[in-house]
Amino acid sequence: MARDWRLGILAIYALATLGLMMDAGEPDQLWWWPLALLFLLWAVAPIALLCITQGHVTAKGIAALAIAAFGLWAFVQTMYIAAPDAQGGLIFLFAPLLQLGAALACLGVIKAGAWVKERNG
Question: What pLDDT was estimated at residue 35?
Answer: 93
Question: What pLDDT was estimated at residue 41?
Answer: 97
Question: What pLDDT was estimated at residue 1?
Answer: 52
pTM score: 0.89
CA separation (Å) from 86 to 48, 50, 103? 29, 32, 29
Average pLDDT, the chain: 91
Work out the pLDDT band at 109, boundaries 50, 70, 90.
Answer: very high
